A and B are shown apart, each in its own frame.
Chain A
Amino acid sequence: AQSVTQLDSQVPVFEEAPVELRCNYSSSVSVYLFWYVQYPNQGLQLLLKYLSGSTLVKGINGFEAEFNKSQTSFHLRKPSVHISDTAEYFCAVSAHSGAGSYQLTFGKGTKLSVIP
């Protein structure tokens, strides 16, 4: 079984400042890792994913995340946020093989509020 912990439920940050949203996971098997974004009153949209290869993953809207296997982390970063980045962000993990690979386990979400 796998689990995901998002360490901050809310993160306020000033416009044009950098931001890091933290995510840790636990799993007994190799995993795929994802960040999804949910804008107000919308469904979830994939921001980026780590499947294999380079541990630094770049996604849409200037976001990137780094996979750290030893620390079982997959933190999301952006060097300069914009008002339009205000949203809720979900980290998710999928098992690498077996029946569990069909499923995503989500963290509880982090609400990013960008302050003008």
Chain B
Amino acid sequence: DVKVTQSSRYLVKRTGEKVFLECVQDMDHENMFWYRQDPGLGLRLIYFSYDVKMKEKGDIPEGYSVSREKKERFSLILESASTNQTSMYLCASSFLLAATSYNEQFFGPGTRLTVL
């Protein structure tokens, strides 16, 4: 079974703090993704990575950065947390197949972040 784990289920931080959200997958997947999920907005892609040290911006990268030093681990960083970053954050991973092939994404359980 594919397992995607996230370091915390719930996190409370203060405005201005630097926040690290960690994601680890155990299936040797090349692709990893960070989404944020808000009521009524669905899932929106923040960043993704298709290889170690590689990253690509998604739809809403502003206020976030990412790090991928090892294949199995993908970190989302909030340099200076703000209240509008209060959200559910979901990590996902998938194989890197040919561009015309399907890459099923497997999701972690999510981290509910509250910024006060």
Contact = CB atoms under 8 A, between A and B. Distances in A.
Interface string B80-108: 00000000001010101001111111011
Given A90-B42, A90-B43, A43 B102 contact: no
B104 A43 contact: no
A43 B33 CA distance: 13
Interface stretch (A12-20, A65-73, A96-104): A96-104
Contact of A97 (B100, B103, B105): B100
Nearest to B96: A102
Interface string B34-47: 00000011111100
Contact of B40 (A41, A46, A96, A108): A108
A106 B43 CA distance: 6
Given A43-B107, A44-B107, A96-B100, A103 B45 contact: yes
B25 interface: no
B21 interface: no
B48 A102 contact: yes
Interface residues of A, number: 26
B42 A43 contact: no
B48 A43 contact: no
A96 B101 CA distance: 7
Interface of A: 6, 9, 32, 36, 41-46, 49, 51, 90, 94, 96-99, 101-104, 106-109
Interface of B: 4, 31, 33, 40-45, 48, 50, 58, 90, 92, 94, 96, 99-105, 107-110
Chain A to chain B: the 6 pairs with minimum beta-carbon distance, closest first: A43-B107, A108-B42, A106-B43, A44-B107, A106-B42, A43-B109
